[in-house]
Structure 1
Amino acid sequence: MFENILETKKEYFGLDIGHATIKIIDLAKSGKDFSLRSHNEVPISPNAMGTSGISNKNELAQVIKKALETAKPRKIIAKAVCSALPETVVFSKVIKMPKMKGNDLAKAVPFEAAEFFPIPLSEMNLDWHVIDTQNNPEAKEMEILVIAASKVLVKDYLEIFNLAGLELIALETKAIAAARAVLLPEEKDRYVLVDFGSEASSVCIVENGVVKNTGTIKTGGNAITRGLVTVLKIKPEEAEKIKKTSGIEPGKKDEKNLAVIRALFPIIEEVNNSIKYFQTRVEKDAKIKQIKIYGGAARLPNLTDYLQKNLNIPTVLANPWTRIKTRPSEAVPAQDALKYTTAIGLAMREL
């Protein structure tokens, strides 16, 4: 995404800017597989990145420098980086158009996309990918995934990495990066990927390795913590401990369990809405093979069982290490791996 404004090919690493931390992954590639060289997670000021831009660029640049220097098991020396924009600040849409090529397509896509996006095209960077043109050679139409982001925000990213002494060589959405990390190339079925973050969560539908639909909700693991603080009248530290040890307790209807379930309801609703939209607007009666969950809050005890029961779709924790064959002894602990899913996908990106 947006490679046309970021022209270069160098040794690079993946960097994911989240709500409260940045995550960095440096991989070495051998054939189709990868090995982990270094990783790190460093806290940042909450809400450093908003929909209108990044609040303190110099501060964030210094944090990135520190993260590279203190990466484990060795510091990261690469000077090129792939990063991602969260779905909360990216507009995406699958559109159908008559089959066309080259210059005709380049002229037609912005014109068609203009009616779907809430801000003028002159204020956005626009990118698109043609989907499934070879599945049905007789089809008169083709599907195109259109992605747009504010030019102000893209400029902020470029400036931050420049201040950190780095070159931003690719910028895409977190959903695209995550799909690359958790799905093998041979996994061609339809999957729902749920990024359960701290303050926001996203839901995307992937088919044949291509992200076809995305949605975002402003709820995450911290909403559970706040709910427990309110109903149990305890400190946030105590609520966080209860959340991580008890999670959802099947069959219980006490105040604690109901507070957790209330925080999860928007995620269930968004998954249902995304599937219904996909089935009515993109592909009629499409069946979902599996839901894969990742993100910093994904290890909530009994979360997969709860979602599977309420959505009636097989649900598992994603495995971002699927294509990472070797890892040093100081590798990311298993309980933390899901937090690095997006960064891993970014580091795996082909340029």
Structure 2
Amino acid sequence: MASSEFVGLDIGTSTFKGIQVKGKTLTAYYQAAAPGVSLLSENPNDLKQISDSLRKFFDDAKFRTRNVVTSVPESQVFTRVINLPQMGEAEIASSVKNEAPQYVPMPLEQAVLDYEILGPSETQSGSVDVLLVAVPKALTQKYLQLLQGAGLTPLSLETETIALSRSVVGDSSQPVMVASIGATTTDISIFSGGALRFTRSIATGGKSLERALAQTFNLEMGQAAEYIRTYGLEGKLEGKVMGAIKPVFDIIVEELKRSQAFFTSRSRRPISRLVLVGGTANLPGVLVYLAQALGVEVARGNPWETAISIPGNFPREYLEEFASSFAVAAGLALKEI
């Protein structure tokens, strides 16, 4: 299995992204508009539409393989870092099984449960941090059917946060916060000591900004999206666009502040920087706005700087423009299978 080729596939609400690497060198990439149908829909026709669109995506992309590693939406996954007394691996495995029911908000027989030992705790001396992940079995089955219906062979499913740890976090010894602002959700995670230490997801994303602007000025959603891409959080156009979307964007800012304060109070280590990924990372003025609000360095996540090299015959300017959008797919492509 170690030699299997595969594509890191990010199935977003607005766009599909695919990345293929050899070692840590980019060999293929593609992105295209998604049908705009929620992956969480229970309507068989909606899911067939996504499968058909994925099949076309791979037909157009011309990847060398239809093996895929893909991610499940962070908002639908239960992820928590728990503290356990220092003990051997066998004892940790037993403790996780015993402790899981009090942390996982669903019957364990309905979930796929996994865990990873992160190492000595950064928030509680004399204990070990363990990452606990629970995914509803119904969700994994839906993904498998969706992918197989598109003629794809899924090799692995994992969370977007774990993928981002490979592509944009790097090997910083200082705590780093990552905000993935997607179309419908914002996923916040904090990494320290080379491991995930905190994660949460909120139901506010790029579409919320578009709705706010569309309702304020009676625009079509497409028009609103174009205005936001053009003016964002800058004061141009008499500050009208910024004024309309700021109250919604500040919901994301407040969650970032709360996450920052919680981690810092527990670990006694300040967040060194914020890495922004997702389509909203390219919003004009967003880096300055967040830096002023949080008091830390803010940068767009760029897998081409952190993890993957671009060959000379690839369009670097295009890939740099969409670097933060490709971050999840890049992290999935770097998974060791």
TM-score by length of 2: 0.90
Partner AA of 1:50 in structure 2? L
Looking at structure 2, the residues matched to 28 and 103 of structure 1 have their Cα atoms a distance apart, in angstroms, of: 35
Of residues 273, 291, 300, the one that matches 1:290 is 273
Cα distance 1:167–1:241, how it changes in 2: closer, same or farther (>3 A)? closer
CA contact (8 A) 1:86 1:174 kept: yes
The CA deviation string for residues 186-210 of structure 1, in whole angstroms up to 9 with x for no partner, is: 3222111011112211111111232
Cα distance 1:211–1:149, how it changes in 2: closer, same or farther (>3 A)? same
Structure 2 gap segments, 5+ residues each: none
Structure 1 gap segments, 5+ residues each: 1-6
The CA deviation string for residues 22-59 of structure 1, in whole angstroms up to 9 with x for no partner, is: 21111111xxxx22222222333324312879874433
- Give 3-state SS (helix, strand or coil) of 2:234's partner: coil
Identity over aligned pairs, percent: 26
Looking at structure 1, the residues matched to 83 and 252 of structure 2 have their Cα atoms a distance apart, in angstroms, of: 28
Looking at structure 2, the residues matched to 214 and 169 of structure 1 have their Cα atoms a distance apart, in angstroms, of: 25
CA contact (8 A) 1:24 1:40 kept: yes
Q: Which residue number corresponds to residue 330 of structure 2?
A: 344
CA contact (8 A) 1:178 1:341 kept: yes
CA contact (8 A) 2:68 2:155 kept: yes
Cα distance 1:55–1:86, how it changes in 2: closer, same or farther (>3 A)? farther
Quick check: 1:192 aligned with 2:146?
A: no
Of residues 16, 21, 37, the one that matches 2:15 is 21
The CA deviation string for residues 185-243 of structure 1, in whole angstroms up to 9 with x for no partner, is: x3222111011112211111111232221111212222222222222233333322221
- Give 3-state SS (helix, strand or coil) of 1:115's partner: helix
CA contact (8 A) 1:51 1:88 kept: no
CA contact (8 A) 2:52 2:150 kept: yes
Looking at structure 2, the residues matched to 237 and 43 of structure 1 have their Cα atoms a distance apart, in angstroms, of: 13
Looking at structure 2, the residues matched to 55 and 115 of structure 1 have their Cα atoms a distance apart, in angstroms, of: 37
Partner AA of 2:275 in structure 1? K
Quick check: 1:120 aligned with 2:107?
A: yes
Quick check: 1:42 aligned with 2:32?
A: yes
Q: Which residue number corresponds to residue 179 of structure 1?
A: 165
Deviation at 1:252, TM superposition (A): 9.3
Deviation at 1:162, TM superposition (A): 2.4
Cα distance 1:234–1:156, how it changes in 2: closer, same or farther (>3 A)? closer
Q: Which residue number corresponds to residue 219 of structure 1?
A: 204
Partner AA of 2:309 in structure 1? K
Q: Which residue number corresponds to residue 317 of structure 1?
A: 300
Q: Which residue number corresponds to residue 193 of structure 2?
A: 208
Looking at structure 2, the residues matched to 39 and 261 of structure 1 have their Cα atoms a distance apart, in angstroms, of: 34
Which structure has the highest helix share of the two?
A: 2
CA contact (8 A) 1:53 1:156 kept: no
Query: How do residues 149-168 of structure 1 correspond to structure 2 at under 5 angstroms?
Result: 149-168=135-154
The CA deviation string for residues 40-90 of structure 1, in whole angstroms up to 9 with x for no partner, is: 22333324312879874433233222212211xxx1122321111121100
CA contact (8 A) 1:53 1:153 kept: no
- Give 3-state SS (helix, strand or coil) of 2:178's partner: strand
Query: Cα RMSD over matched residues?
Result: 2.5
Number of aligned residues: 333
CA contact (8 A) 1:99 1:141 kept: yes
Q: Which residue number corresponds to residue 228 of structure 1?
A: 213
- Give 3-state SS (helix, strand or coil) of 1:70's partner: helix
- Give 3-state SS (helix, strand or coil) of 2:268's partner: coil
- Give 3-state SS (helix, strand or coil) of 1:324's partner: coil
Query: How do residues 294-305 of structure 1 correspond to structure 2 at under 5 angstroms?
Result: 294-305=277-288
Looking at structure 2, the residues matched to 160 and 217 of structure 1 have their Cα atoms a distance apart, in angstroms, of: 25
Cα distance 1:248–1:65, how it changes in 2: closer, same or farther (>3 A)? same
CA contact (8 A) 1:217 1:266 kept: no
Quick check: 1:335 aligned with 2:329?
A: no
Between 1:302-311 and 1:333-342, the stretch displaced more is: 333-342
Quick check: 1:10 aligned with 2:1?
A: no
CA contact (8 A) 1:93 1:147 kept: yes
Q: Which residue number corresponds to residue 3 of structure 1?
A: none
Q: Which residue number corresponds to residue 4 of structure 1?
A: none
Cα distance 1:134–1:117, how it changes in 2: closer, same or farther (>3 A)? closer
Runs of 4+ in 1 over 6 A off after TM superposition: 51-55
Q: Which residue number corresponds to residue 127 of structure 2?
A: 141
Looking at structure 2, the residues matched to 259 and 311 of structure 1 have their Cα atoms a distance apart, in angstroms, of: 21
Of residues 253, 273, 279, the one that matches 1:268 is 253
